[in-house]
Amino acid sequence: MSEKMCEGRVCIVTGAGRGIGREYALLLATEGAKVVVNDYGGARDGTGSDQGPAHEVVEEIIASGGKAVAHVGNVSSLADAQTMVQLALDTFGGLDVLINNAGILRDRMLFSMTEEEWDAVIRVHLKGTWAPSRVASEYWRNRAKAGESNDARIVCTTSVAGIYANTGQTNYGAAKAGIAAFAQIAAQELVRYGVTVNAVCPGGLTRLTEDLSFSDEMLARFRPERVAPAVVWLASAQSAGVTGQVIESSGMVLGIAEGWRRGPHIDNPPMDPREVDGIVRGLLAEAKPRTTMADIV
């Protein structure tokens, strides 16, 4: 067998009790990583909690000869993020990779969405990306300041719902587009400390996609385990130097999502608002069409 890609690397995967995160944890362990399996085991909408899923994945990894430990904290709590990173340090002696994957859904059209539906989704995705990243990045910065070298990774999770804009998901899409921006900005801040930060845009049949309808071809190919190879590569030393990117990964596609860029523009904007309409409509006619949800299914 070829060399293991993540031999000895210590990886935290949040939301790894089910779905896509579970596949990351299993493949990372197969590739030699020591895995902290975080999952607080809530329902699809984030309500409730259950320690079972995280422990089951850990048992599965250990039964296959791998190394793993469960953490059942909530990613959107800074205190829980601290115990998560500390568990990696205490159990495995370090931390090389943080994969921010945990997520929930509370879909609703904007005009009907409740404050709680907005807050819950923003809290789990956006704050739940920030809190573990905040703690892990401080650990890596302290190491660098002490003269140690890092070959570390943060992998965040965005979504086509955010970067290509899906109707009915202003909360989720805004959080996910925010996470794509978070990854690019954190990449710039952490490059000097030996940490790359990228975002993955995954796709796979899980309980989060059970409301959607798929063609037979998609049902056959859109499996959560198909997301994991690209994420294991990102977690490995092989992805050195790749940072600030958004990478689409599923059984249907492996590709680079190209982000915002300055398009057609003029350099001397008018002072008279009456002139704006003609100018902006002319620029819009020149602009490249965006990728939409209709283009990707």
Among 66, 132, 173, 204, binds ligand NAD (CB under 6 A): 204
* Minimum CB distance to ligand NAD, residue 25 (Å): 11
**Residue 46 interacts with ligand NAD (CB under 6 A): yes or no:** yes
**Residue 18 interacts with ligand NAD (CB under 6 A): yes or no:** yes
**Residue 170 interacts with ligand NAD (CB under 6 A): yes or no:** no
Residue nearest to ligand NAD (CB): 19
Among 103, 132, 244, 251, binds ligand NAD (CB under 6 A): 103
User: Closer CB to ligand NAD, residue 9 or residue 18?
Assistant: 18
Among 27, 31, 66, 74, binds ligand NAD (CB under 6 A): 74
Cα-Cα-Cα-Cα dihedral of 100, 106, 107, 111, to 10°?
-120
Among 27, 34, 42, 98, binds ligand NAD (CB under 6 A): 42
- How far, in Å, are 58, 199, 217, 236 from residue 100 at the CA level? 18, 9, 29, 16
Among 137, 150, 157, 236, binds ligand NAD (CB under 6 A): 157
User: Closer CB to ligand NAD, residue 212 or residue 284?
Assistant: 212
Alpha-carbon span 74 to 239, nearest angstrom: 29
User: Closer CB to ligand NAD, residue 104 or residue 143?
Assistant: 104
- Single-letter code of the amino acid located at 24: Y
User: What does the angle CA 222 – CA 226 – CA 231 come to, to the nearest 5 degrees?
Assistant: 135
By CB under 6 A, the count of residues binding ligand NAD is 33
Residues labelled as active-site residues: 172
User: Closer CB to ligand NAD, residue 101 or residue 184?
Assistant: 101
**Residue 14 interacts with ligand NAD (CB under 6 A): yes or no:** yes
* Minimum CB distance to ligand NAD, residue 283 (Å): 32
For the chain, what's the residue count?
297
Q: Which of 185, 188, 158 is nearest to 257 (CA)?
A: 158
Among 148, 207, 237, 293, binds ligand NAD (CB under 6 A): 207
Identify which range of 10-18, 138-146, 184-192, 251-259 contacts ligand NAD by CB under 6 A.
Answer: 10-18
Q: Which of 172, 174, 160, 124 is nearest to 250 (CA)?
A: 160
Alpha-carbon span 266 to 268, nearest angstrom: 6
Among 13, 38, 153, 197, binds ligand NAD (CB under 6 A): 38
Token digits of residue 245 = 């990117």
Identify which range of 86-94, 99-107, 108-116, 188-196 contacts ligand NAD by CB under 6 A.
Answer: 99-107
**Using CB under 6 A as the criterion, which residues of the chain lie in contact with ligand NAD when the complex forms?**
14-15, 17-21, 38-42, 44, 46, 53, 74-76, 101-104, 124, 128, 157, 159, 202-204, 206-209
